[in-house]
């Protein structure tokens, strides 16, 4: 409902999402980027139960070392479709564009 309430009358909701199946078909566990003396190393793991890619990132920039972790949630088509359909049923004032 929050998205619907935020839209102007006649407005559209558009979502830019990672394509889970495409990403997983090209999945790499380690990824390194070097730019001059700077460096970024990503170590990825995928958890199929939660649909998350966990990332441990190491960055060296201007001689400073930083490490941090984060995750990205990947939605499959059927899960996203179910979420959207549930939202349409709970809020009958929302209409689909075809």
The residue ranges of every structural domain in the chain are 18-90
21-25, 42-46, 81-85: which has the minimum mean pLDDT? 81-85
Tokens of 91: 């809020």
Confidence of residue 1 (pLDDT cuts 50, 70, 90): low
Task: Give the mean pLDDT of the chain.
Answer: 87
Q: What is the CATH number of domain 18-90?
A: 2.20.25.570
CA-to-CA distance for 33 and 31, rounded, in angstroms? Answer: 7
């Amino acid at each position: 409902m929050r998205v619907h309430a935020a839209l102007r009358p006649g407005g559209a909701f558009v979502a830019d999402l990672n394509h889970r199946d495409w990403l997983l078909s090209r999945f790499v566990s380690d990824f390194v980027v070097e730019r001059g003396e700077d460096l970024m190393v990503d170590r990825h793991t995928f958890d199929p139960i939660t649909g998350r890619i966990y990332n441990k990132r190491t960055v060296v920039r201007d001689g400073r070392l930083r490490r941090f972790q984060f995750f990205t949630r990947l939605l499959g088509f059927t899960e996203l479709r179910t979420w959207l359909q549930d939202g349409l049923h709970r809020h009958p004032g929302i209409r689909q564009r075809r």
